[in-house]
Amino acid sequence: MIESLLKTIFTKSVVKLWENKDMLSLYLKTLFGKYRSKDIRFSISYLFKIQIPDTDNYLLVLNRRIENQLQPVGGVYKRYGDDKLFNDWGFSPDNRKNGLDVDSESNGDLRFKVTGKNVVKVIKWFDEGKEREVSGEREFNEELINTSILDSKVFSQIKYKHIRRFSKHLKWSEFFSCFEILVYDVFELLPNEKQKEALKALNQNKTKLKKGYAIVSSDDIRQLRFMKNGKQIARIGAQTKLLINQKF
């Protein structure tokens, strides 16, 4: 009875939030609670689940910013258009003091801060898919094709599907000294027969960190470390657990 009454009070957009209790909680905390006037950092990205056919192994690449850390292919979405809407939200991009810095490659990344009262507006904007990147090909090409990890002819066209979206809301980050909202879209590569054979061949040379990649097992991912001959030779980023349907 009370739930039905509350639904009639909220607008249609907020009713959608009601259907997802986590989102409703986020709405209340950022619009009315203690987070309303705080700076909240967003990082909105996508990653690829690239599983070696007929195995429990996965293709990971080295992080370009964090030394000796493996992670899924992917990266932060980019936004397009002007800054007007973002400026209305109290937007500030990452820089050397408050984040991971912005260079020519990371310009336009969806990695930024806004004031808490605008958090739900950002999420609604992202869900609409306007004036932002919506596909995963850019990072796939940058990290696997341009680096010659995968053959450009064999993988000139790829198919993939969106399998899940995972988010962490208002978690304190010691590194950034602020509360964060992390959003990850997980895409699964759907290789054709030639691509399957290429991935199987890559699996024969599992460790090529000097070339920027490694083939790891699900056990490696659970432990967040890549071992060789009983010795850890690389860390694995926590977000990689999303490939095996685990949270982090």
**What pLDDT score does 107 carry?**
77
Measuring CA to CA, which residue among 147, 240, 161, 151 is closest to residue 202?
A: 151
Q: Is the backbone of residue 108 left (phi > 0), alpha (psi -120 to 50) or beta?
A: left
Higher pLDDT, 65 or 17: 65
Q: What is the pTM of this model?
A: 0.86
Q: 6 pLDDT exceeds 90?
A: no
User: What separation in angstroms does the CA of 182 have from each of 89, 126, 135, 169, 208?
Assistant: 18, 13, 18, 7, 30
**What DSSP element (H or E) covers 235?**
strand 231-236
Domain ranges for the chain: 1-33, 34-244
pLDDT in tens, 113-129: 999 999 999 999 999 99
pLDDT in tens, 81-94: 778 888 889 898 88
pLDDT in tens, 128-182: 999 999 999 999 999 999 999 999 999 999 999 999 999 999 999 998 899 999 9
Model confidence at 22, pLDDT cuts 50, 70, 90, reads confident
**What pLDDT score does 96 carry?**
62
Q: Is the backbone of residue 6 left (phi > 0), alpha (psi -120 to 50) or beta?
A: alpha
- For residue 215, give the 3-state DSSP assignment: strand
